[in-house]
Each structure stands twice: as C-alpha cells, then as structure tokens.
Amino acid sequence: MTRDKFCAAEGFGLLTYKKLHFNGLAPEERIIPGTSIVDITVEAQRAWRKMIKQQPNGKAAEIVRRGLEGSRRGVLSLKSPGHPANLLKELRALKAARAAE
C-alpha cells in the first residue's frame, strides 16, 4: 500500500507519517523495482502495529497521539462560528445580500 493508504488505514495524516519517518519510527518501506513508487507491505504494517501496541508510551505512539489530537482540534475549530473561514463566509453572505438589494 502507498503512504497515503497506510495513513488512511491507521487514521492519521501524512504529516504524522512524515514525523514518524523522520524519527525512524515509520513502517518499513520498499520501492517497487523500476518505479519510484514507495510501498508498505502488509507484513510491515503488522510489525508497525505490534511495535505501537508493545510500546504504548513510546515515541511513535506519542507522535500518533499528537497527530490525532491535532486533527480533532482542527475539526472542532472549523465548527466554531468564530473560525476565520466561517467569518469570511458570513461576510460574503452579507455582501451578497447587500448587492441583491
């Protein structure tokens, strides 16, 4: 599987994967011969999950926890009426309403 598919299967983003990789904690990768495609085997995924379960307070588990917490905070932030994206939508709606008058 690709890095993106691995991240989706594990429930975290590519940035979290890159942090794991930078710290030498990502699953083993291989490059498919004749291409530049990076592949993560099912066996490598199983070994990585086993490592995470065996070391629940280890650095890899901490990186994953922080990544998941950051994603959760981002989703909650977007739901807030005070988020800049929501304020811009409100301003655009007001501007459109004034233009329609």
- For residue range 33-54, list pLDDT tens digits in order: 999 889 999 999 999 999 999 9
Share of the chain above pLDDT 90, in %: 74
Domain coverage including residue 62: 3-100
Spell out a b/e string for 64-89, using b for 16 or more CB atoms within 10 Å of the CB, else e. beebeeeeeeeeeeeeeeeeeeeeee
| CB neighbour list of residue 66: distance below 8 Å, 6 or more residues apart | 16
pTM beyond 0.85: the answer is no
Chain centroid to Cα 17, Å, comes to 7
For the chain, the domain total comes to 1
- Residue 6's nearest CA partner among 48, 66, 34, 36 is 48
Record the tokens describing residue 58, joined without a space. 């280890």
